[in-house]
Amino acid sequence: TTEAIFTPSTTWAETYAVAEAKFFRCMARQAPRDTLYLNCLQLCASMLVSAGFSSYTWKTVVMHLLNTIPPSSWGRWDFMMRLQDIMCYLHGCLEEKRLDHFFFGNENMPEDIILPAAFQAAEPINLFQCLVQDPAAHAKAWREFEELQDRLTRLQVFG
C-alpha cells in the first residue's frame, strides 16, 4: 500500500485518490437519488475484511462495474443484483488471475477525469499478478471467495 512506503523529502508515492473521488462524484451526478453503489461497496468492504481481499480490490471491481453498468441500474431495488454482479466479476478475475487497475489503459474513463496521456495509453496493470506467480496464493484466494459466496448466500436466504 502507498501508506507503507516511506518517501523522503518532497517525493510522494503515486496516488489515485483525487481521480477516484472525481470518478465517484461523476457517477453520483449521473445516478438516481436512491443509488446504492456506495452501500454495495461498504457492504463488500466490511464483509471482505475477514475474507482476505483488500478494500482496494473491491473498490476496483465496483469502479469497473460502475463504468459498464448504467448508474440507473444501481438503485435500491437492484441492490442484490449488483452484489451478485460484483461477485461474478470477481469470480471471472480469479479465474483469469487478472484484475486490471482501473486508471491504467482504461479507454472508458469519464471526461471529467483528466489523466496523463501515458496512463490512458499504458497497458493495464494486473492487480492479481501475485496470483499468476503463486499457485498457493491463487488457491487461498479461491477458498476465500467461496467462503464469501457462502456468506452472501446465507445473507440472501436468512437475512
Render pLDDT for 33-68 as a digit per residue (tens, 0 to 9). Answer: 666 666 666 666 666 656 678 878 888 998 999 889
User: How many Cβ atoms sit within 10 Å of the Cβ of residue 105?
Assistant: 15
Q: Does 134 or 107 have the greater pLDDT score?
A: 134
- 3 phi and psi angles, rounded to 5 deg: -65, -25
Confidence of residue 12 (pLDDT cuts 50, 70, 90): very low
What is the domain class of 16-158 according to CATH?
mainly alpha
Count other Cβ atoms within 10 Å, centred on residue 124.
14
- DSSP state at residue 127: T
Phi-psi region of 141 (alpha: psi -120 to 50; beta: other; left: phi over 0): alpha
* Long-range contact pairs involving 49-57 (C-beta distance under 8 Å, separation at least 24): 51/144, 51/145, 51/147, 51/148, 51/151, 52/140, 52/141, 52/144, 53/90, 53/141, 53/144, 53/145, 53/148, 56/1, 56/127, 57/90, 57/99, 57/127
Say what the pLDDT of residue 1 is.
43
- Cα atoms found within 13 Å of the Cα of residue 38, Cβ hemisphere only: 13
The arithmetic mean of pLDDT across residues 116-142, rounded, is: 90
pLDDT at 39: 67
Q: Model confidence at 4, in pLDDT bands (50, 70, 90)?
A: very low
In 3-state terms, what secondary structure has residue 112?
coil
Query: What are the extents of the domains in the chain?
Result: 16-158
Q: Which pLDDT does position 98 carry in this prediction?
A: 96
* Helix 55-66 with 79-96: angle, nearest 10 deg: 110
119 residue type, one letter? F
